[in-house]
Homo-oligomer: A and B are copies of this chain.
Amino acid sequence: MPDVPETTRISQYAPAEQRAASEVPAASGFPGLITRENEPQNLEFPFPSLAGRLTPTSQFYIRSHFPIPDLSVEGWRLTINGAVEHELTLTYDELRQLPATTVSATLECAGNGRARLAPKPKGLLWEQGAVGNAEWTGVPLTVLLARAGVKAEAIEVVFEGADRGEINEDPKSPGAIHFARSLPLAKAQQGEVLVVYAMNGQPLPPEHGFPVRLVVPGWYGMASIKWLTTITVSTVPFDGYWQTIEYAYWQRTQGHPTMTPVAEMQVKAEIARPMLHEALAAGVPYRVHGAAWTGEGAIAKVEVSTDGGGTWQPATLLEQDVPFTWRLWEYHWAPAAAGRHKLLARATDEQGQTQPLEHSKDRRTYMINRVASVEVLVQ
């Protein structure tokens, strides 16, 4: 068995079970989830409740495409097949005996922010809380790929979950399908990509992929296949439903729109407080705060405007940077004048990428990172 590969970009956080109980962030404000759809369950973290860097598991957003599959530790198997030297089938116990690591990673649904688009789009209307940050413990995918032996001609790795169903609403539906998606081999071989069995130090709950899921730090959540059962190394591009009809966007190549699977998260700052239409007192200092994240880079700065974008002031980035992990930020504001005020926040990452003011239609209803604004009432 090969050694665990280098995972130099992996979190310095201690796994949750090694921390004192008092360090685990308490649920605050709104200690549950907001329903966006009941069946299948699609529930949103109430983002104004943001109280710490780690999202409590019970408040981590839930994105389901189908009913939660009824899996057991005993019955579960993971198959690794396709363009490999040795096809593998692992039991849960065998997986647990492999070298493991813990990564802190922020996952955001590719449709987060959709409720703020106009006109009202199709799809789940997430506002700002289809995002969360957790510590994920599992076996690096590279360990499994090395054991199976990836053939030289491989270009992608396809991941399939046990969740399955008909897509009745969509006339382009291919019938009953499993959720499945691929990664380019280069991303699949990054040390941070994990085959995960624990979240915040506890076994995965059913809604987060029990017993085992993929976690792809830096990418939108649709890549982190839950209820993972099959890993297929492929020598051809995978053009499945979930990276063509859904979770794909238009990239322009010499003016021609080209269907492209949604992949890396886009740089984004969200305001937790004040909340939309929150009433503030004139002259009383107020702590504007939130979180900012990006894909595979780091957040360089967050700026805040309290005059609808006329002027911008730097916010303070809190704690130190942790790869793949959102950065909390704050800005102290004393609203002077009564009336309605529009607050904005925008993040810039180390590559100089920042947020647009408008959402591009080429992105369809994904990758929504236009500058957020919050209207508040100062009294």
Contacts and interface: CB of A to CB of B under 8 A. Distances in A.
Contacts of A154: none
A33 B125 contact: no
A49 to B, nearest CB: 7
A127 B275 contact: no
Contacts of A56: 279
A59 interface: yes
Interface hub of A31, A127, A279 (most chain B Cβ within 10 A) = A31
Contact of A38 (B35, B36, B38, B115): B115
- Say what secondary structure dominates the interface of chain A: loop
Nearest to A168: B119
A261 to B, nearest CB: 24
B127 A58 contact: no
A59 B48 CA distance: 14
A277 B116 CA distance: 25
Given A32-B278, A48-B32, A39 B115 contact: no
How many copies of this chain sit in the oligomeric assembly? 2
A105 to B, nearest CB: 21
A46 interface: yes
A100 interface: no
A29 B32 contact: no
Contact of A116 (B38, B46, B278): B38
Interface string A112-149: 00011111100001010000000000000000000000
A276 interface: yes
A275 B30 contact: yes
A369 to B, nearest CB: 16
Contacts of A118: 37-39
Contact of A377 (B58, B115, B120): B58
A348 to B, nearest CB: 25
A337 B379 CA distance: 46
A88 interface: no
B279 A35 contact: no
A115 B276 contact: no
A274 interface: yes
A340 to B, nearest CB: 9
A48 B197 CA distance: 32
Contacts of A43: 276-277
Given A38-B118, A116-B38, A119-B39, A33 B276 contact: yes
B279 A38 contact: no
B59 A277 contact: yes
A34 interface: yes
A34 B119 CA distance: 17
B116 A35 contact: yes
A282 interface: no
A27 interface: yes
Given A35-B115, A38-B117, A39-B118, 12 more contacts: A29-B29, A30-B30, A31-B279, A32-B48, A32-B276, A32-B277, A32-B376, A35-B125, A36-B115, A36-B125, A46-B46, A58-B278
21 contacts: A27-B279, A29-B29, A30-B30, A30-B46, A31-B275, A31-B279, A32-B275, A33-B276, A35-B127, A36-B125, A37-B120, A38-B116, A38-B120, A39-B118, A39-B119, A43-B276, A43-B277, A56-B279, A58-B277, A58-B278, A59-B277
